[in-house]
Amino acid sequence: MQEDKPTGGDVNAVIQIAEEKKKQQRDSWSARLSSLAETRSKSEFAAIFEYFAPRVKSYIMRLGMPLATAEEVTQEAMLSVWRKCHLFNSTKASASTWIFTLARNQCIDRLRKEKAVEYELPEEEPDPDQRDMAEHSILEERMQVAISGLPESQAQVLHLSYYEGKSHSEIAEQLGIPLGSVKSRLRLAFSKLKAHWGEE
């Protein structure tokens, strides 16, 4: 997209370049995570750590974990990145999404003392959804734009669910609205996000 140079005062072009830069960054994290499985390079891991650990820590703290434990759980989550990077498949998720799921599972284990149940693909059935990496980062790009464009009431339930780890019933209680309204707000948000990633 080299032709998209900002011309004086062209805010849209500037935004576009910023978005493009973020997308490249995401692509590169996915590529670096993929190559980590082969190289097992500690300096490469250190780079991934420097970018993702402070984000994972921030996420874990929002879920309500005290500072000291948050740091410890972040270390556990980042160690699982090292242990499992050969399982990362950039055709299925971006690096951010994959690391999000690792951190989430670590929190379920630690915060709720429950087992995080992951799904497995049936052996005989190849995954029909073979997106390429570029598509995934485009999807996430659009997703971020779409999330920031959600009406307040929908953005709020999305944040409470993903970032504060609240169940739908707890959100209903906290906001003083019926459980059905929490779900319908989430459904509305999801369908808006779906419209942005433009498929199905």
Closer by beta carbon to other proteins, 17 or else 158: 158
Range 24-53, binding other proteins (CB under 8 A): 26, 42, 45-46, 49-50, 53
Q: What is the dihedral of CA 88, 90, 92, 93, to 10 degrees?
A: 90
As to burial, measured by CB atoms within 10 angstroms (0-12 exposed, 13-18 middle, 19+ buried), residue 199 is: exposed
Report, in Å, the least distance between residue 6 CB and other proteins.
23
Range 166-185, binding other proteins (CB under 8 A): 166-169, 179-180, 182-184
88 binds other proteins (CB under 8 A): no
88, 96, 110, 133: which one binds other proteins (CB under 8 A): 96
* DSSP-derived secondary structure for 25-72: HHHHHHHHHHHHHHH--HHHHHHHHHHHHHHHHHHHHHTT--HHHHHH
Range 101-140, binding other proteins (CB under 8 A): 101, 103-105, 107-108, 112, 114-123, 125, 127-129, 136, 139-140
Closest C-alpha among 8, 11, 30, 14 to residue 133? 30
143 binds other proteins (CB under 8 A): yes
Give the count of residues interacting with other proteins (CB under 8 A). Answer: 85
